[in-house]
Structure formats: C-alpha cells, structure tokens
C-alpha cells in the first residue's frame, strides 16, 4: 500500500504525539489518589530515597515542615527536651577515622519486617498493606514497648496533653506516635510528603518520595540504577527508606 | 445476731430506700423548663444542613458504632469515606462562631458535649482529634512523579 | 512416724499487725496518688523520656514479677521434687507468688500511658508479641497457683497435689522465660539482644524469690511467736547461697560473651567502666552487695546467726534491684548504634548517653506495688491458714533425731 508524504507525516505526528502523551497518561493514572472508598493494597509500596550528598548540615527544613504539617509544636510543651516528640530529626554523622562528615534526616524507616509491629501487645502498631507503618492510636495503651524495640528511635511517646491538633493528624497524650509518611497526603493523592516537599522548595532535593513498586517511578528507577543503603541493614528489616551516601 | 426474719426485713428496707433515692434523682424528666435534674437537658442546635447523614434516632443510639467501625477502616485500610467520618461530623456540627463541638460561643456546651454531659459518658475522641472544624488550611501540592516542575500551590500556608 | 503438719491462721488482732497494715496502706495510697499525678499531667512529670522509656516503676515491677515466680520455688521443691521438709512452707510460698505478681502487675498497669485502655489490652491481641503472651502467662499463673493453693488446703482434692505442683512449676518457668524474653527479643539494643536473657531471668528469679520468701517467712513466724527450726533454716540458707552464686555465674557468662565480640565493646565498656552510676550500681550493687557479700555471709560460720541470714537476704534484694536498674535503665541509656563506628549527634539525643534520674512519682509508684504485695500477704495470712504452726525441727523433719537436735542447738547457743 502506498502512503503519501502527507499521510505519512500526519500518521507519524499522531504516533509521536501519542507516544509522548501515553506515558504521561499512564503516570497520571497512577499518580491519582485512590478513591476514598477503596482500601489500600499491596500493589503500591511507598518509600523515600534520601541522598545524603545533597543534604545540608545546618538545614532543618524537613523537620520544620513535618512538625508544621502534623501540628507538633515544641513551644507549647512543658517537658524537658528529651520528652518532646520528634517524628523526624537531622543526624550528623562523622567518621572518626577519616574525618568525613555528613548530615541526614532520620524518621520512621517503614520497615517491611517492623520490630515495633512484632512487639505491640494489642496490635496497635501495624503495617498497612501499602507498606506504611502506623500506630492505631485508638488501641494503643501506651506501654512503649514499640519504642524499646525500634532500632531507629523513630517513635515518640506523647508525654503531655495536646491541644489544637491538625484535623488530619490526631495526636494525644498517653499514646505513641511516629512519622506516618504523611499518610493523609498519600491517600489524598498529593504524591509527596511534607519533608520531601520542603526539601524540594529549599532547592536541595535530597528527599524523594514515591512508589517503590512502580518500575516507572523516579524512585524505583533511581534505586535500580544507583547504590543505595538502609540504616542497620544487618537487621534485615527491609526498610522502605533508603539512603545514598551512608 | 439477727434472726432470719429481721435480716429479711432490713434488706427489704434497704432496697426500698434505694428505690426512693433513685426515683427522686431520676424524676428530672420534665420538659425543658421544669426538669428537676441539675444538668441542663440538651437543646441540640445544629448549624449546618437540613439533616444528618443518618436519621436522628439511628444516630442517637448508634453514632458510636458508626465512628468505631469507620475508624478501623480508615486507619487500617485507608478508606476515607465521608459519611461516617469524624472530621465530617465536626465540620457540620461545630458551632459557627467557636468552630468547636465542645464549646459554643455563648459559653454553653457544644453539640457533642451537651448530650455527653447529660448522660455522663466521657468522650474519648477529642483527647486526640481536634474538636474544631477546618482547623488547618490544606495545601494541595502534587509533585509529578517524574520530576516535572512543581504545580503551583492552591492553598495558603499551613 | 510421720507427723501431721498443722497450719494456723495468724490472729491479726495485735497493734503491731494493725500498724503493719497501716504502713502498707500508706505505701499503697502514695502509689495511687503518684499514679493520678502521672496520668493526669502526663509522663513529662517523671524522669522517663523518649530515650529512657521505661524507668523506676519498671525496675520495681520486673523485680516483683521475677521474685514472684521465684517465690514459688519452695512449694515446687516440696511437690514437684518431693522434699518433705519443705512441705510446711509450700502454702506461704504459693501465696507470696501470687501477691508479688499482683503487686508487680499493678505497677505496670498503672504506669501505662492509657491505663483506662486495660480492657483493650485484654481484648485485642497480637500473638507475635511476647507482651501479649505474658498477659496470658501472668493471669494463668495466678489461676494455676490459686488451684495449687486450693489443692494444698482442701483434703478432698489432696490427690492432685503432685500434678498441681508440677503444673505450677512448669508454668512458672514459662512465665519467667517470657519476662526475660521481653528484653531478649529486642534485636535493636546492644544490651538486650542476647539469648541468655531468658535463662538469666530464671536464675535471678530463683535467687530474688527465695530472698523475699526467707524474709517474709522469718518475719511472719517470729512476729507471731512461731518457731523456725535450725534445720530448715539451714537448708534455705544454703539454697540461697547456691542461687546467689548461680546469678553471679550468669552475669559473668553474659559479660564475658559480650566482651569477646568487638561489636559489643561499647556497651560493655559503658556498663563495666565508664557508665557512671550504672558502673557503680553494677560493681558495688549487683556484684558486691548482691553477690559476693551475701555469698561470704551465707557460707561462713556467721550464718549460724539468724540476723545474718536475714541481712544476707536483704542484701540479695538490694543487689537484685541494682541489677534490674542496670539492665533496664542502663540498657536504655546507652545509645542505639545506627551507624557502627561513627560519631553521631542530633537534636534527639542520638549518639549520647541518655540522662535519667528517678523521679519521686516513679519511686512512689514502685513502692506502691511493694505495698500491695505485702498488704495482700499480711491480710491473707489472717484469713486463711497459710502459715505453719511450727517449723521447729522436732515438728517437721521426718528424719529428725532428738540427739542431733540437741547437738545443733548446743552449737547455736
């Protein structure tokens, strides 16, 4: 069959346009929030990739953003520093042999074999199907065993009465809490967490959020191409939070 | 030692006394103006909407069941339907001025607190959940997965 | 000829009895007050933080629970191991097992962040958690020992005595293993991730439980004018000495093993050398006061004096509390090792030894648990025949020879 030049060009243009848009369409499908009636499934596995080479020592944008997003206000608390909750913190690491220093944010690592879930007597500490480890604070009795078990000191105990909570982040005295991977934003379809967002705004772009199960997502492609490690890998907990440069 | 009949009589007297005491306390079932109880009968003003997500009598007896089941679905499965969502309840039933379901602008008890005071059932929810409607302005900032430019934010600061 | 053992309730009408109950009652009241203070204000009023998560109440609670299972030993020796000389003490032993456990559990429950959710803890279970298992182990223990006491007191079910004793013994081993595993299962912490934790707790229970039992026995018999014979006291004293030595051995095994692995040098250095209060409590409290001195006292001629035996028991308890403090609090104070070999710092106290000092509410709560245990024991002795009428040599020893008794009493005089 002969194809005229005009036909060839228009078909070609259509094909190219389709090829350009198609990945975008499928990505848009994936990035859209699941509808509110649907339960989460294991089809997705949310995770973070933190590039410590891009992380600045003095910068605490991620910490401030997380605390603002979730209504954590250290000023209104009466207890000592050690009783104040930290869902995320900046850790400075120095190698005493070489002198090399770097800085990185540490939060709940959302392990797939979480020790905190194993030890919780009531099952309040649990792992959602999409990989986010949460505390169901309705059934948390405040025994703090999960805090003993966590290798990353990710969990904090609410030592004081809290007021003016954010609607999407209920928090109260007597229960244990930790980074929720901004589950309220994830379910809403924001496609990011507060810390990742803030780091992006600061221009460092050290924190990347995404679906590790989606081979086309930036995070999945990056961890496939670059060497990444997890803190305390020897414990074999299969953390969803990976780091470059530790 | 009391004889059997004396014991029986004293137990009966005790029961009668209890009965009298209870009935005098419980006689506060008058109308709003003339009730005898010390706790004000709830007035139940609702600011928004014409009706609740469920019929009133169903809500009165079962609202705790709805909330209980919804919380498990939301927390464990991420199901965030609005009908039985606590956030939604608060959004509708909050006092228009104080925005709270625990305290009204005129100092009286808010929507939830009214009945719970009257029935002396402690509310556990608002130790953790905010009792205020719309307590945060939400920013919607979807970041494209393949790193395209951030779409401009649509809301105010947090 | 086998003599019948007589048990008799104590009279409990003296001023001394009333005063004793009043003292325990005051301890309980203070403990409840401390609980209200902590629960109402929140745990920020205590010394416990996000770093040292479990504090003084847990030291008391774990000690009481460990001693509870150990207190049952005397009864187990009588029934499961068939030593007739211990039979008269079996009821008191079982009673103490229950009351100490109740005291310890009360402290744990009252320290919860949400104690009002106890019913949640009893209805929602995650069976991978040793805590969940412990709830069954603890309540089951109270049931089994309750049945055991019934079998001991009610002659109509006497034939189940041995079976009940063996069941109680096995259950108590499971319980202490469960308690030790609370720590042994924590892979993340340098001080805890060790299989030896469970058997170490079992041995500690033997020693601490017997020490508490000895003191309660001596006090309750002496204060009600009932005799304790030298023979039985001698056996108990020797047993205590053996257990103290065993605890020392386990401590040596635990630390030597850790010292071999370079990975654990940090925690060992901390406990043994430069941990400040923890090092002091380890060497002076656990090893010296809780181990070497009682050992020396119990196996020397000094131990013919009952006062010395009682002193040794007190020292064992003091040393035991020190050991618990080092394990529970020292183990938490040492930082989590997230980046082995690196120097770490953060706003959340990473990389540093956590500061902790016991606060008054915590101590009062712990003492409240002790008060509950002792008050319950004191009260139970009056209500039911737990205490033997006499433990004199002539009355209990089936192989007793009067001439031998005269010799020992002449020596002791």
Q: What is the pLDDT of residues C124-172, one digit of tens each?
A: 999 999 999 999 999 999 999 999 999 999 999 989 999 999 999 999 9
Confidence of residue C2 (pLDDT cuts 50, 70, 90): low
Mean pLDDT, chain B, whole residue set:
75
The verdict on A93 touching C (C-beta cutoff 8 Å) is: yes
For the record, the structure tokens of B73 come out as 């679905």
Of the candidates C49, C114, C187, the beta carbon closest to that of A235 is on C187
Q: What is the pLDDT of residues A141-183, one digit of tens each?
A: 999 999 999 999 999 999 999 988 999 999 999 999 999 999 9
Reply yes or no on whether the pLDDT at A27 is more than 70: no
> Residue A104, SS3?
strand
Mutate to test the interface with B, among A167, A207, A218 (most CBs of B within 10 A): A167
pLDDT for the residue numbered C3: 62
Query: Quick check: C365 and C110 in contact, CB under 8 A?
Result: yes
Q: Which domain holds residue C122?
A: 15-412
Domain count, chain C: 1
Residue C216 to residues A232, C87, C314, C381, C395, Cα–Cα distance (Å): 48, 17, 11, 11, 20
Which of C406 and C15 is assigned the larger pLDDT?
Answer: C15
CB atoms within 10 A of CB B18: 10
Distance from CA of A13 to the nearest CA of B (A): 23
Q: Which of C8, C12, C7 is nearest to C223 (CA)?
A: C12
Return all residues near C298 (Cβ < 8 A) that are at least 6 apart: C237, C238, C240, C241, C244, C309, C312
Q: Which residues of A181-195 are buried (b: 16+ CB within 10 A; e: fewer)?
A: bbbbbbbbebbbbbb
Task: Report the C-alpha gap between C203 and C197 in whole angstroms.
Answer: 10
Which of A240 and C347 is assigned the larger pLDDT?
Answer: A240
Distance from CA of C360 to the nearest CA of A (A): 16
Q: Note the Cα C261 to chain centre separation in Å.
A: 31
pLDDT for the residue numbered A11: 74
Q: Which residue is associated with the tokens 């000495």?
A: C241
Contact A200 B143 (CB under 8 A): yes
Domains of chain A (ranges plus CATH)?
A: 46-244 (3.30.70.20)
Q: What is the pLDDT of residues C88-125, one digit of tens each?
A: 999 999 999 999 999 999 999 999 999 999 999 989 99
Confidence of residue C6 (pLDDT cuts 50, 70, 90): confident
Q: Which of C219, C103, C261, C97 is nearest to C164 (CA)?
A: C97
CB atoms within 10 A of CB C8: 14
> Residue A157, SS3?
strand
Reply yes or no on whether the pLDDT at A33 is more than 70: no
Reply yes or no on whether the pLDDT at C234 is more than 50: yes
Task: Report the C-alpha gap between C365 and C367 in whole angstroms.
Answer: 5
Domain presence at residue C379: yes
A18-22, A72-76, A109-113, A219-223: which range is least confident on average?
A: A18-22
Which residues of C, range 266-285, sit inside 8 Å of A by Cβ? none
Confidence of residue B43 (pLDDT cuts 50, 70, 90): confident
Reply yes or no on whether the pLDDT at B30 is more than 70: no
Q: Note the Cα C404 to chain centre separation in Å.
A: 35
Mutate to test the interface with B, among A31, A36, A160, A207 (most CBs of B within 10 A): A36
pLDDT for the residue numbered B23: 61
Q: What is the gyration radius of the CA atoms in chain C, in angstroms?
A: 22
pLDDT for the residue numbered A47: 96
Stretch A89-111: mean pLDDT:
95
Mutate to test the interface with C, among A61, A83, A235, A238 (most CBs of C within 10 A): A83
pLDDT for the residue numbered B104: 87
Domain presence at residue C104: yes
Q: Which residues from chain B sit within 8 angstroms of residue A141, using beta carbons?
A: none
Which of C232 and B37 is assigned the larger pLDDT?
Answer: C232
pLDDT for the residue numbered B9: 80
For the record, the structure tokens of C199 come out as 């058997």
Mutate to test the interface with C, among A105, A121, A146 (most CBs of C within 10 A): A121
Task: Report the C-alpha gap between A72 and C377 in whole angstroms.
Answer: 47
The verdict on B83 touching A (C-beta cutoff 8 Å) is: no
Q: Which residues from chain A sit within 8 angstroms of residue B137, using beta carbons?
A: none
Reply yes or no on whether the pLDDT at A116 is more than 90: yes
Q: Domain extents for chain B?
A: 56-127
> Residue A91, SS3?
strand
SS3 string, C99-119, reads HHHHHHHHHHHHHCCCHHHHH
A107-121, B52-66, B130-144: which range is least confident on average?
A: B130-144
Contact A167 B130 (CB under 8 A): yes
Helix, strand and coil content of chain C, in percent to the nearest 5, comes to 75, 0, 25
Reply yes or no on whether the pLDDT at B151 is more than 60: no
pLDDT for the residue numbered A226: 95
How much of chain A, in percent, has pLDDT values that exceed 70?
89
pLDDT for the residue numbered C400: 60
User: Which pTM does this prediction carry?
Assistant: 0.86
Across the A/C interface, how many CB contacts are shorter than 8 Å?
183
ipTM: 0.89
Which residues of C, range 323-362, sit inside 8 Å of A by Cβ? 332, 336, 338-339, 341-351, 354-355
Residues B147/B152/B153/B157 CA torsion (nearest 10 deg): 100
Q: Could you tell me which chain A residue has the CA closest to the CA of B144?
A: A191
Mutate to test the interface with C, among A119, A154, A236 (most CBs of C within 10 A): A119
For the record, the structure tokens of A239 come out as 């953390």
pLDDT for the residue numbered A29: 44
Confidence of residue C408 (pLDDT cuts 50, 70, 90): very low
Query: Quick check: C306 and C233 in contact, CB under 8 A?
Result: yes
CB atoms within 10 A of CB C405: 17
A175-184, B5-14, C302-311: which range is least confident on average?
A: B5-14
Return all residues near C405 (Cβ < 8 A) that are at least 6 apart: C229, C231, C393, C394
Q: Which of C407, C85, C387, C104 is nearest to C239 (CA)?
A: C85
Residues in chain B: 158
Q: Which residues from chain B sit within 8 angstroms of residue A190, using beta carbons?
A: 140-143
Query: Quick check: B138 and B155 in contact, CB under 8 A?
Result: yes
Mean pLDDT, chain C, whole residue set:
92
Return all residues near A139 (Cβ < 8 A) that are at least 6 apart: A122, A123, A124, C117, C120, C124
pLDDT for the residue numbered C8: 86
Task: Report the C-alpha gap between B99 and B89 in whole angstroms.
Answer: 12
Domain presence at residue C7: no
Task: Report the C-alpha gap between B98 and B87 in whole angstroms.
Answer: 16
Contact A37 B79 (CB under 8 A): yes
Sign (positive or negative) of CA dihedral C187, C193, C196, C199: negative
Q: What is the CATH number of the domain that holds C391?
A: 1.20.1630.10
Distance from CA of A100 to the nearest CA of B (A): 30
List the alpha helices (DSSP H) in B27-110. Answer: 56-77, 86-93
Task: Report the C-alpha gap between C180 and C164 in whole angstroms.
Answer: 24
The verdict on A102 touching B (C-beta cutoff 8 Å) is: no
Reply yes or no on whether the pLDDT at C402 is more than 70: no
Task: Report the C-alpha gap between C189 and C170 in whole angstroms.
Answer: 29
Q: Could you tell me which chain C residue has the CA closest to the CA of A94?
A: C343
Domain presence at residue C5: no
A140-154, B79-93, C317-331: which range is least confident on average?
A: B79-93
Of the candidates B71, B90, B146, the beta carbon closest to that of A218 is on B146
For the record, the structure tokens of B30 come out as 């008058």
> Residue B24, SS3?
helix
pLDDT for the residue numbered B56: 85
pLDDT for the residue numbered B154: 35
Stretch B42-67: mean pLDDT:
83
pLDDT for the residue numbered B143: 34
List the alpha helices (DSSP H) in chain A. Answer: 5-31, 61-69, 115-119, 145-149, 183-188, 194-202, 218-225
Query: Quick check: C344 and A91 in contact, CB under 8 A?
Result: yes
Residue A12 to residues A21, A192, C242, Cα–Cα distance (Å): 14, 36, 92
Domain presence at residue C166: yes
Confidence of residue B155 (pLDDT cuts 50, 70, 90): very low
The verdict on A37 touching B (C-beta cutoff 8 Å) is: yes
pLDDT for the residue numbered B50: 75
CB atoms within 10 A of CB C250: 19
Q: What is the pLDDT of residues A64-87, one digit of tens each?
A: 999 999 999 999 899 999 999 999
How much of chain C, in percent, has pLDDT values that exceed 70?
95
Distance from CA of A128 to the nearest CA of B (A): 6
Of the candidates C39, C53, C132, the beta carbon closest to that of A157 is on C53
Mean pLDDT, chain A, whole residue set:
90
Which of B95 and B29 is assigned the larger pLDDT?
Answer: B95
The verdict on B82 touching A (C-beta cutoff 8 Å) is: yes
Task: Report the C-alpha gap between A153 and C341 in whole angstroms.
Answer: 18
Of the candidates B76, B147, B158, the beta carbon closest to that of A136 is on B76
Query: Quick check: A158 and A171 in contact, CB under 8 A?
Result: yes
């Amino acid at each position: 069959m002969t194809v005229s030049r005009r036909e060839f060009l228009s078909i070609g243009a259509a094909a190219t346009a389709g090829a350009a848009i198609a990945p975008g369409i499928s990505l848009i499908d994936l990035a859209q929030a699941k509808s509110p009636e649907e339960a989460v499934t294991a089809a997705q596995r949310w995770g973070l990739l933190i590039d410590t080479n891009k992380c600045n020592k003095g910068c605490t944008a991620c910490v401030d953003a997380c605390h603002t997003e979730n209504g954590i206000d250290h000023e209104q608390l009466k207890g000592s520093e050690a009783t104040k909750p930290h869902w995320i913190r900046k850790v400075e690491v120095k190698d005493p042999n070489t002198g090399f220093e770097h800085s990185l944010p540490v939060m709940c690592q959302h392990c797939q074999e979480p020790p905190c879930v194993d030890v919780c007597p009531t099952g309040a500490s649990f792992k959602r199907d999409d990989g986010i480890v949460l505390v169901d604070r309705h059934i948390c009795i405040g025994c703090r065993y999960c805090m003993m078990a966590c290798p990353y000191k990710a969990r904090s105990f609410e030592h004081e009465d809290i007021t003016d909570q954010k609607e999407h982040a209920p928090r109260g005295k007597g229960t244990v809490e930790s980074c929720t991977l901004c589950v309220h934003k994830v379910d809403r379809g924001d496609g990011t967490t507060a810390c990742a967002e803030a780091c992006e705004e600061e221009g460092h772009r050290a924190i990347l959020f995404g679906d590790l199960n989606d081979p086309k997502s930036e995070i999945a492609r990056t961890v496939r191409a670059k060497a990444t490690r997890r803190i305390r890998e020897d414990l074999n907990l299969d953390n969803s939070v990976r780091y470059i440069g530790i | 030692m009391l004889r059997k009949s004396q014991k029986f009589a004293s137990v009966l007297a005790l029961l009668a006394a209890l009965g009298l005491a209870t009935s005098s306390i419980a006689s506060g079932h008058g109308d709003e103006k003339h009730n005898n109880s010390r706790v004000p009968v709830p007035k139940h003003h609702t600011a928004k909407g014409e009706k609740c997500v469920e019929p009133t009598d169903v809500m009165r007896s079962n609202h705790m069941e709805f909330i209980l089941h919804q919380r498990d679905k939301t927390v464990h499965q991420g199901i965030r339907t609005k009908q039985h969502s606590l956030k939604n309840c608060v959004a509708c039933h909050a006092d228009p001025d104080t925005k709270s379901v625990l305290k009204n602008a005129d100092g009286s008890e808010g929507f939830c607190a009214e009945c719970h005071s009257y029935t002396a059932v402690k509310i556990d929810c608002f130790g953790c959940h905010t009792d205020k409607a719309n307590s945060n302005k939400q920013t919607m900032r979807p970041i494209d997965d393949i790193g395209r430019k951030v779409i401009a934010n649509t809301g105010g600061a947090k | 000829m086998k003599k019948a053992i007589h048990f008799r309730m104590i009279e409990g009408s003296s001023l001394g009895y009333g005063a004793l109950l009043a003292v325990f009652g005051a301890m309980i009241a203070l403990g409840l007050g401390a609980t209200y203070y902590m629960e109402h204000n929140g745990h920020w009023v205590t010394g416990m933080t996000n770093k040292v998560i479990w504090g003084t109440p847990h030291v008391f609670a774990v000690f009481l629970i460990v001693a509870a299972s150990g207190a049952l030993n005397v009864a187990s020796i009588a029934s499961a191991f068939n030593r007739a000389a211990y039979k008269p003490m079996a009821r008191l032993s079982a009673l103490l097992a229950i009351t100490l456990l109740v005291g310890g559990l009360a402290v744990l429950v009252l320290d919860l962040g949400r104690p009002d959710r106890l019913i949640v803890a009893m209805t929602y279970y995650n069976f991978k958690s040793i805590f969940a298992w412990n709830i069954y182990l603890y309540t089951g223990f109270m049931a089994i020992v309750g049945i055991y006491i019934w079998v001991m007191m009610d002659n109509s079910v006497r034939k189940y005595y041995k079976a009940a004793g063996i069941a109680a013994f096995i259950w108590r081993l499971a319980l202490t293993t469960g308690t030790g595993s609370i720590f042994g299962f924590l892979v993340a912490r340098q001080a805890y991730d060790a299989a030896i934790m469970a058997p170490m707790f079992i041995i500690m229970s033997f020693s601490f439980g017997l020490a508490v039992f000895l003191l309660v026995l001596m006090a309750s018999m002496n204060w009600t004018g009932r005799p304790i014979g030298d023979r039985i006291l001698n056996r108990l004293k020797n047993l205590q000495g053996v257990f103290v030595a065993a605890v020392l051995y386990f401590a040596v095994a635990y630390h030597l093993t850790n010292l071999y692995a370079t990975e654990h040098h940090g925690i060992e250095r901390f406990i043994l050398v430069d941990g400040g209060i923890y090092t002091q409590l380890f060497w002076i409290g656990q090893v010296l006061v809780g181990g070497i001195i009682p050992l020396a006292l119990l196996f020397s001629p000094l131990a013919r004096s009952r006062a010395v035996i009682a002193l040794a028991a007190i020292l064992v308890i003091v040393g035991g509390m020190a050991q618990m403090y080092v394990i529970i609090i020292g183990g938490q104070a040492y930082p989590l090792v997230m980046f082995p070999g690196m120097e770490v710092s953060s706003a959340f106290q990473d990389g540093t030894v956590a500061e902790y000092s016991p606060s008054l509410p915590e101590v009062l709560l712990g003492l409240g648990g002790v008060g509950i245990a002792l008050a319950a024991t004191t009260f139970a002795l009056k209500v039911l025949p737990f205490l033997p009428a006499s433990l004199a040599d002539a009355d209990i020893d089936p192989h007793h020879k009067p001439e031998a008794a005269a010799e020992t009493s002449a020596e002791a005089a």
